[in-house]
Structure 1
Amino acid sequence: MRILFWGTPDFAVPPLRALLGEGHDVVGVVTQPDRPRGRSRSQLDPSPVKQVALEEGLPVLQPDRPRGEAFLAEMRALAPDISVVVAYGHILPKNVINLPPHGTLNIHASLLPALRGAAPIQAAILEGMPETGVTIMQMVPALDAGDMLHVLRMPIDDDMTYGELHDALAEHGALAIVQALAMIDAGVSHALPQEESLATYAAKIDRATAQIDFRAPARQVQRVVRAFDPRPGAWAMLRDTSVKCFSARVVGDGSDAALDDPTRESPPGTVRSVEADGVAGGMIVRCGVGAVRVLDVQPSGKPRMTALAWARGRGVSIGDQFALPVVAASASATADPA
């Protein structure tokens, strides 16, 4: 089949490379326009997907919005049999979805109908899910609501960060789309409708979502840190300065009983110790229940560093208090995505 591939960020690169590696006829790529960067905004950077397309000599379409007769004419000229979409960045109108004879497939990074929407990878970590995966679905105009053709599952390790899970799911997506297309070619693909009553939503990430509320239990604080590592970084305020926290570990079993007496008596957000790096190193911060050990930090305007290096530079001292949000940042993914 002639495949028109839609995608923009790093997450979409492994599926594109997998389709090309399996010998599929990728007739073109649709990706978002080049983005300006730098203070002058004069340099335009191509998306990761466009870079691969150029390396492979594929035609590239970069509409501001994927709609209108001019764009449809460009699609028709490529004569795709099917479209494959992964993290493209725009909702597609019905006439674009239905233009290829076999419609449009989407690679979504969750076990649908759970975690439809913009940030399913972060939401799976925030919600403490033991597993996630990728779903290949038939795209429809409604948000991530199409019939499911294929699912691949994977466990979420206790210390897995967003970056690690993102990369693993990108590879799962690559395998899943190759398998789904093979089943379609063999005539053994079966579409399964989603159960709407089980649908949940993964809201788009904003700065408030990534704020750490140390009043939460230690296990939840650790999930917030993991969910935004390496980007955008879970953060809290200390002495009117924003500090991002990385590589958090729960102290003991996460209960107050695992803490020494001085730590138990401290209010949430209190720095209880800063020790040499290693298994027992890092910065211990009191939570609503238990404590977390933060190994790395990034103060505003500085590079990522160990908590010990920060302490030695007089960035933090025992007894310092991280500010608590006036309104606790949400640690779930229940709101409709933007």
Structure 2
Amino acid sequence: MRIVFMGTPEFAVPSLKLLVEQNYDVVAVVTQPDRPKGRKKTLTPPPVKEAALSLGLPVLQPERMRSAEAVAAVAEYEPDLIVTAAYGQILPKAVLDLPRLGCINVHGSLLPKYRGGAPIQRSIINGESSTGVTIMYMAEGLDTGDMISSVELPITDEDTSGTMFEKLSAAGAELLGATLPSIIAGEAAAVPQQNELATYAPNLTRDDERIEWGKSARQLFNQVRGLSPMAGAFTFLHGEVFKVWTCAVQDGGGRADAAPGTVLGADASGIRVQTGDGVLVLKDIQPAGKRMMNAADWLKGARLETGTLFGDGGAA
């Protein structure tokens, strides 16, 4: 069994490590190229590359998996099976056809719901009470292949994208370990997806991060959780970007005469803001040019008057 593993972010690392720990012959690891990160734009390897090198595995980093050179480089390893987890590129048919046992993917949703590149974030943003991991055979479409196995996990109000990434990453690796023997034996049950039930989770954009105060407090609470700790949700204060990292929904206390985005008060518990339905309490925030901090700490040195309006202008 010669396995080529493809993955990029931290989500994929437990699956790679499981393959090695269970003594599968991982002959190569394919991941995205190193990218500039941070204010200094330091060239940084993806987590899967770091894990692969620590395990002594050869690493390929093609810019485009669809290129003839990239396909040929993978073909040289003569894989019996290709395992992917959040690789970040759609595999061409030339790659899908390489391994005799096919290509399988560890996908962070309960397919056919949330096909696409941001299933975990969007499941939280959309207020889902549960999500999961599906192991599937890969096809040419976007996450359209037959399903092999799945596991469901709850999403609580305390969860963020960060906590769910960790939970689903671990659950995906465990599910992969339990599913591989049947795939290798040719006994895996391949269940076609019900395409009419499919929903999509496209990669997040800047518009997805922008707070629209006319939405309900609950919707905005889910948006903030779904964007933390990666991008963060943002609004504007006095024309400058103001990020919100954690928040809470307040029971009652709203004002029917206050426009959405109006500050109703601010104290040690946070900044209370009127929404289209209910009150959102901002807990951890990041004003323009500053680090993330607790709202109560920021209020010690900042003046925020009741009646101030968030979202008062400026382009993203």
User: Would you say same fold, with TM above 0.5?
Assistant: yes
Could you report, residue by residue, the CA deviation over 1:92-122 in whole angstroms, capped at 9, with x for unpaired residues? Answer: 1001011011110011111111111121111
Between the aligned partners of 2:111 and 2:302, the Cα distance in structure 1 is: 47
Give the 5 Å matches for 1:1-338. Answer: 1-37=1-37, 43-252=42-251, 258-259=252-253, 263-276=255-268, 281-314=269-302, 316-323=304-311
Between the aligned partners of 1:19 and 1:196, the Cα distance in structure 2 is: 31
- 1:34–1:44 contact (8 Å) kept in structure 2: yes
Between the aligned partners of 1:236 and 1:40, the Cα distance in structure 2 is: 25
Q: Give 5+ residue unaligned stretches, structure 1.
A: 253-257, 330-338
Between the aligned partners of 2:240 and 2:111, the Cα distance in structure 1 is: 39
TM-score, normalized by length of structure 2?
0.94
Structure 2 residue identity aligned to 1:218: A
- 1:213–1:324 contact (8 Å) kept in structure 2: no
Alpha-carbon RMSD across the aligned residues, in angstroms, is: 2.0
Shift of 1:84: 0.5
Could you report, residue by residue, the CA deviation over 1:60-87 in whole angstroms, capped at 9, with x for unpaired residues? Answer: 1111112344333322321211001111
Structure 2 residue identity aligned to 1:273: G
Shift of 1:153: 0.5
Structure 2 residue identity aligned to 1:26: V
TM-score, normalized by length of structure 1?
0.88
Shift of 1:38: 6.2
Shift of 1:187: 4.4
Alignment partner of 2:203: what SS?
coil
- Determine the structure 2 residue equivalent to 1:335: none
Between the aligned partners of 2:230 and 2:279, the Cα distance in structure 1 is: 23
Aligned length: 316
Between the aligned partners of 1:324 and 1:147, the Cα distance in structure 2 is: 48
Could you report, residue by residue, the CA deviation over 1:119-144 in whole angstroms, capped at 9, with x for unpaired residues? Answer: 11111012111110011110011000
Taking only the aligned residue pairs, the percentage that are identical comes to: 43
Structure 1 residue identity aligned to 2:25: D
Between the aligned partners of 1:325 and 1:207, the Cα distance in structure 2 is: 15
Alignment partner of 1:288: what SS?
coil
Shift of 1:40: 7.0
Between the aligned partners of 1:9 and 1:95, the Cα distance in structure 2 is: 24
- 2:101–2:184 contact (8 Å) kept in structure 1: no
Q: Give 5+ residue unaligned stretches, structure 2.
A: none
